[in-house]
Amino acid sequence: MEYEEERQRLIDSLREQGIGEKVLEAMNRVPRDLFIPKKLQSAAYCDSPLPIGNKQTISAPHMVAIMCDLLEIKKGDIILEIGAGSGYNAAVMAELTGPEGKIYSIERIPALGKFAKENLLKAGYDNVTVIVADGTMGYKEHAPYDRICVTSAAPSIPEPLVEQLREGGIMVIPVGKYMQRLLLIRKQLDGSIEERDCGGVIFVPLVGKYGFHIHE
Task: At 71, give phi and psi (nearest 5°).
Answer: -75, -15
Give whichever of 23 and 58 is closer to ligand SAH, judged by the CB atom: 58
Closest-CA residue to 118 (of 35, 27, 206): 35
Residue closest to ligand SAH when measured from CB atoms: 85
> Can residue 134 be called a binding residue for ligand SAH (CB under 6 A)?
yes
Segment near ligand SAH (CB under 6 A), from 7-15, 26-34, 79-87, 171-179?
Answer: 79-87
> Can residue 180 be called a binding residue for ligand SAH (CB under 6 A)?
no
Segment near ligand SAH (CB under 6 A), from 40-48, 78-86, 93-101, 161-169?
Answer: 78-86
> Can residue 57 be called a binding residue for ligand SAH (CB under 6 A)?
yes
What is the enclosing helix (H) or strand (E) of 58? strand 56-58
Q: How far is CA 119 from CA 18, 27, 136, 166, in A?
A: 28, 16, 23, 29
Give whichever of 59 and 164 is closer to ligand SAH, judged by the CB atom: 59
Site for ligand SAH in 33-52 (CB under 6 A): none
> Can residue 169 be called a binding residue for ligand SAH (CB under 6 A)?
no
**Is 134 in contact with 206 (CB distance < 8 Å)?**
no
Closest-CA residue to 82 (of 120, 129, 136): 136
Describe the crossing of helices 88-97 and 21-28 by its angle, rounded to 10 degrees. Answer: 120
The minimum distance between CB 168 and ligand SAH, in angstroms, equals 24
Site for ligand SAH in 109-128 (CB under 6 A): 109, 112
Alpha-carbon distance of 51 to 43, in angstroms, equals: 11
Number of residues that bind ligand SAH (CB under 6 A): 25
Q: How far is CA 125 from CA 32, 193, 203, in A?
A: 13, 32, 25
- What is the 3-state composition of the chain as percent helix, strand, coil, each rounded to the nearest 5? 35, 30, 35
> Can residue 160 be called a binding residue for ligand SAH (CB under 6 A)?
no
The minimum distance between CB 112 and ligand SAH, in angstroms, equals 5
With CB under 6 A as the contact rule, the residue among 97, 152, 164, 180 that binds ligand SAH is 152
List interacting residues with ligand SAH (CB under 6 A). Answer: 56-59, 82-83, 85-86, 88-89, 106-109, 112, 134-136, 151-152, 204, 206-208, 211
